[in-house]
Structure 1
Amino acid sequence: MDKITPKAASRKEDIISAAITVFADLGYYRATTAQVAAQANISQPYVYRFYNTKEALLLAALERSWDRILQAFSSVREKVKPEDMETAFTEAYKNVLRNFQSEILLQMQAQTIQDPEIRKAMQSGMKRIRDYVLSSFQQSGYPEPEERTTIFLAKGMLCNIALAIDMDELMPNHL
């Protein structure tokens, strides 16, 4: 098996970043790997060196977006008092919304794609977020952690909608 050199690994990350931008701007079905390659300033065959299909590229982009949210939550989880966990997660998610809008818009588009592999990736990503938040709330001693997790996730989804349609007034006060 070929090892990926640091330069190739960097290019792979560039391709994912380009895919996120292109897919979020144009939509998955309208976007092409040629457009992704152009955004990454590489040739289209180089995209296929790492990702055999456009779907594989989308799956990698979605994985990055879910990882980003988990990293944001993880970065604050150990630094706050248990009673401040929800507020810390809220601020972490706001930062993701501000700094990685295309990733959130990509997730929103992927929610509507009926392809079984993409649907499975979306379910897996959302489950990872839900489980992490629920576990954090349980370990922090929050009362009714399942209900609070559901409400927290629902507020996050409302924030996503507010972002997508540029309606700040829909942003919940607590998120």
Structure 2
Amino acid sequence: MTKASSTSANRRTDIVSAAIEVFAEIGYYRATTAKVAERAQISQPYVFRFFSTKEALLQEALEVSWTRIFDAFRSVIATTGPERLENELVQAYVKIMDDYQNETLLQMQAQTIKEETITQTMQNGFREIQQIVYTAFKDAGLERPQEKTLIFLAKGMLCNISLALSLPELMVVDE
């Protein structure tokens, strides 16, 4: 990779990171590419060098956030035995939520955005996560893997709500 293409790739990453922050903080509809450019410390036309529309920028930001979850879950699955699998997947997701809160908030917002490409990106992300978890539970020999997957995903959504509303008590479990 040449220095120019390396710098270009870094700038693209910087723009996506700035977009995640701006979209999560003020919402997709209120955010502008000018605000994203300001956060990335570049000019607005430079944003359009990489992304033809704000929607395309959102789509890439969402794909980055989904990929982070896919990679984390696949890593856990590759290194964890059946007896700890579910707990380790939960811990991996909690770490993502702690380290990348804006990505979680962005995904939550994107569930209400009705542009077709965004809806498809979110559907694809949820389908992939569902398949990754289901296959892992099934391959691990866990009983009722489909039901366990459903409950796992439901708990994940509750984690998201807990984060978004600053209500950690939603996640308290009596032992």
TM exceeding 0.5: yes
In 1, Cα distance between equivalents of 2:156 and 2:35: 30
Residue 141 of structure 2 is aligned to residue 134 of structure 1: no
CA contact (8 A) 1:155 1:172 kept: no
The alignment partner of 2:7 has SS state of: helix
In 2, Cα distance between equivalents of 1:172 and 1:136: 26
In structure 2, what is the equivalent of residue 28 of structure 1? 28
Identity across the alignment (%): 53
CA contact (8 A) 1:158 1:172 kept: no
In structure 1, what is the equivalent of residue 103 of structure 2? 103
In 2, Cα distance between equivalents of 1:13 and 1:52: 15
Cα root mean square deviation, aligned: 1.2
In structure 2, what is the equivalent of residue 6 of structure 1? 6
Residue 52 of structure 2 is aligned to residue 52 of structure 1: yes
CA contact (8 A) 1:77 1:85 kept: yes
Cα separation, partners in 2 of 1:172 and 1:153, compared to 1, 3 Å = farther
Aligned pairs (5 A) from 1:11-160: 11-160=11-160
Give the partner amino acid of 1:11. Answer: R
Using the TM superposition, give the Cα deviation of residue 172 of structure 1 relative to its aligned residue in structure 2, in angstroms.
5.2
The alignment partner of 1:78 has SS state of: helix
| TM, length-normalised to structure 1 | 0.95
Using the TM superposition, give the Cα deviation of residue 102 of structure 1 relative to its aligned residue in structure 2, in angstroms.
0.2
- After superposing the two structures, state which structure 1 stretch, 65-74 or 142-151, moved more: 65-74
- After superposing the two structures, state which structure 1 stretch, 144-153 or 116-125, moved more: 116-125
Give the partner amino acid of 2:167. Answer: M
The alignment partner of 2:70 has SS state of: helix
* Cα deviation code 1:139-163 (max 9, x no counterpart): 1111100000000000000000000
| TM, length-normalised to structure 2 | 0.95
Give the partner amino acid of 1:84. Answer: R
Give the partner amino acid of 1:133. Answer: V
* Cα deviation code 1:25-72 (max 9, x no counterpart): 010000000000000011111110110000000000000110111111
Cα separation, partners in 2 of 1:107 and 1:172, compared to 1, 3 Å = farther
In 1, Cα distance between equivalents of 2:41 and 2:143: 51
**Number of residues of Structure 1 aligned to a counterpart in Structure 2:** 171
Residue segments in structure 1 that go unaligned for 5+ positions in a row: none
